[in-house]
Amino acid sequence: MITILESTEYPIAQMGKMAGICWGADISTHTVNFTRGKECIESGHGRVTEYSDIIIEISEYSARMIRELYTHIQGVSRLQESTRYVDCSNFQYYVPESIKNRNDVNIMYDKVMEFIKTSYKILQELDVPKQDIANILPLGMYTKIVLKINCRALIHMAEVRMCNRALKEYRDFMKELINVLSDINTEWKAFCDNYMKPKCEWLGYCNEKHSCGKYPSQ
């Protein structure tokens, strides 16, 4: 689940306004700023996209997916739910489709998770600190983070994480993120529709060593 905590109200116009200041242009008109912002993005002037951002709360995604999100380091700040302080004895967890769709495998998967939960509680009763018990928690456990990310980083994240070969859970996250951002207002929807897409759609070909086949390889 993704919750918007804060966001630049008009991201594209904000970019155009910042660029206009540098150019000595009139920045008093929203539509002019919006047009200038679009021109900057489409001309590859990525620096201006750093002046619009969002702060979101992310929950009900696995620690494994969040670990991949942490590989994005530019234009991003994050705070994660602390396993030192939070009681994780009844954690919820992600179930991949390959497991969910097979009853026998799903039962085994659930048993492993329940065993970890039970072990966590026993260790608590033995007065082991939560920060030490946390070492047994699985990557599939849901976690919660607060993420601050600017539009330049959002564009890059979409380029690589909307690829058909990206982690399925991450692709699901990107779809939800785009839907949530698009609901803020029409300008955020325009940003998502036009600029948050896999890089093959920008390039017109795939430059990865292993292609999904959606576009021809370079």
Q: Which pLDDT tens digits describe the chain residue by residue (218 residues)?
A: 999 999 999 999 999 999 999 999 899 999 999 999 999 999 888 899 999 999 999 999 999 999 999 999 889 999 999 999 999 999 999 999 999 999 999 999 999 999 999 999 999 999 999 999 999 999 999 999 999 999 999 999 999 999 988 899 999 999 999 999 999 999 999 999 999 999 888 888 888 888 887 888 87
CA-to-CA dists, residue 177 to 98, 103, 151, angstroms = 24, 30, 13
| Confidence (pTM) | 0.90
Can you tell me which residue has the tokens 């912002």? 37
Amino acid 139: pLDDT: 96
Angle, nearest 10°, between helix axes 168-182 and 151-161?
140
- CA neighbor of 92 nearest in space, from 124, 137, 133: 137
What span, in angstroms and rounded, lies between the C-alpha atoms of 61 and 177?
A: 12
Cα radius of gyration (the chain): 21
Contact 77, 130 (CB under 8 A): no
Whose tokens are 């070969």? That residue is 165
